[in-house]
Amino acid sequence: MVLGFSIALIVFSLLLLLLVLMHKGKGGGLSDMFGGGMQSSVGGSSVAERNLDRITVVIGLLWFACIVALGLLLKFNK
């Protein structure tokens, strides 16, 4: 059981990393420092960007739930 949650945690961590890196820079951060803030957004957030936001939130919640479950398993599995 612990091994399964550990593997799931690794998979969710990698997915979360990839999803965060796929987001467009919003400006005002490191993206402006390296010239990424020169792009202008015409119509706000696109459908693909909103779907990417939703998927990122869901994977983040699954990642958090996996950490909590793994912590509880390790605490009560003595």
Give residue-wise pLDDT tens across range 6-18. 999 999 999 999 9
Q: Do 75 and 7 meet the contact criterion of CB atoms below 8 Å apart?
A: no
Residue carrying the six token digits 């945690």: 9
And the tokens for 49? 């960007």
Quickly state the pLDDT bin for 56 (edges 50, 70, 90): very high
32: number of Cβ within 10 Å: 13
Give residue-wise pLDDT tens across range 39-53. 555 555 689 889 999
Nearest Cα to Cα of residue 39 among 27, 30, 57: 27
For the chain, which residues make up each domain, given as ranges? 1-18+47-78
Q: What is the DSSP string of 43-76?
A: SSS-HHHHHHHHHHHHHHHHHHHHHHHHHHHHHH
